[in-house]
């Protein structure tokens, strides 16, 4: 014989359903990640080293389910990484080292208030859909 539950949650079914919907919203953050990356991309273009302007033209952004991504450089501009991160003294026999400018990282830090507000608004929107709490 089934006994009555010791604890009963009023609205438990609704809570479970809306938590599942919020989980789906949070799992599909690709759009907000792309928007966040675009904010950083704009500033990174401004901060990129500009000898010829070629490097700045290779900056691109994208969003995945788990990250906002800003990339620079292609095969024809392989120096994007060293320009940003630096070049070690013992790198394959190439003479000379330098520290790099960290211009993509600086762009992310300078635009943080803007992209953080976008990101938090999207997460809060998903969480606000949860009913029954």
3-state secondary structure of 97: coil
pLDDT for 124 beyond 80 = yes
Task: Give the pLDDT confidence of 41-81 residue by residue, as tens digits.
Answer: 999 999 998 888 888 999 999 998 888 999 998 888 877 88
Is 74 inside a domain boundary?
A: yes
The β-bridge relationship of strands 60-63 and 68-71 is antiparallel
**94/99: higher pLDDT:** 99
Is 133 inside a domain boundary?
A: no
Is 71 inside a domain boundary?
A: yes
* H helix or E strand, kind and range, residue 87: none
Task: Give the pLDDT confidence of 12-43 residue by residue, as tens digits.
Answer: 777 777 777 777 777 778 889 999 999 999 99
Q: What is the mean pLDDT of residues 106-117?
A: 96
Is 21 inside a domain boundary?
A: no
Q: What is the mean pLDDT of residues 107-123?
A: 94
Rounded Cα distance, 86 and 27, in Å: 35
- How many structural domains comprise the chain? 1
Q: Name the phi and psi angles at 81, rounded to 5.
A: -60, -50
Contact predicate 79/100, CB 8 Å:
no
Is 17 inside a domain boundary?
A: no
- The predicted pLDDT at position 79 comes to 79
Is 38 inside a domain boundary?
A: yes
Rounded Cα distance, 83 and 48, in Å: 9
**124/97: higher pLDDT:** 124
Range of the domain at 61: 33-128
The pTM assigned to this predicted structure is 0.74
Is 13 inside a domain boundary?
A: no
Contact predicate 61/37, CB 8 Å:
yes
């Amino acid at each position: 014989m089934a006994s009555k539950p010791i604890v009963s949650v009023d609205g438990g079914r609704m809570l479970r359903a809306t938590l599942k919907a919020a989980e789906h919203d949070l799992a599909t953050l690709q759009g907000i990640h792309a928007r966040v990356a675009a904010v950083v991309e704009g500033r990174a273009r401004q901060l990129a080293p500009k000898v010829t302007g070629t490097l700045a033209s290779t900056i691109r952004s994208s969003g995945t389910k788990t990250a906002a991504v800003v990339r620079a450089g292609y095969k024809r501009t392989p120096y994007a990484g060293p320009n940003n991160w630096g070049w070690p003294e013992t790198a394959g026999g190439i003479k000379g080292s330098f520290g790099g400018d960290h211009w993509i990282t600086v762009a992310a830090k300078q635009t943080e208030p803007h992209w953080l507000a976008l990101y938090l608004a999207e997460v809060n929107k998903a969480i606000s859909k949860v009913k029954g709490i």
